[in-house]
Amino acid sequence: MNNPVLQAFLNKDWIQADELDLGLKIKPENHLAIGQAPFPIYAIGNLCRGSLWESTAIGELRSQAKLIAKGIIDMK
């Protein structure tokens, strides 16, 4: 993860890398990134590769986006 934003979030412990260092550690039921962020951070697609290997096809992305949207709605 060479993205400067992700590196800054990692340095602040707002997110955590997954065990395989392929993406972020997430809660699979809602794609919420695991960490100490002061606000919710969600991951989709390639950022979920360590937990969900098949995260690039349109069907998987659509399902992931639906879980994220449900998580945001449920927080209110």
Indicate the Cα dihedral angle 66, 69, 75, 76, nearest 10°. Answer: -130
Domain span holding position 41: 4-75
Number of domains within the chain:
1
pLDDT above 90 for 14: yes
Alpha-carbon Rg for the chain, nearest whole angstrom, is: 12
Please state whether the predicted TM-score (pTM) of the whole model is above 0.75: yes
The stretch 15-30 carries a mean pLDDT of: 89
Tokens of 48: 């979920």
Nearby residues of 34 by Cβ (< 8 Å), 6 or more positions away: 15, 16, 24, 25, 26, 27
Q: What is the pLDDT of residues 24-45, one digit of tens each?
A: 999 888 888 999 999 999 999 8
User: Would you state the pLDDT for residue 48?
Assistant: 84
pLDDT for 33 equals: 92
Q: Strands (DSSP E) along 8-69, which ranges?
A: 26-27, 32-33
3-state secondary structure of 52: coil
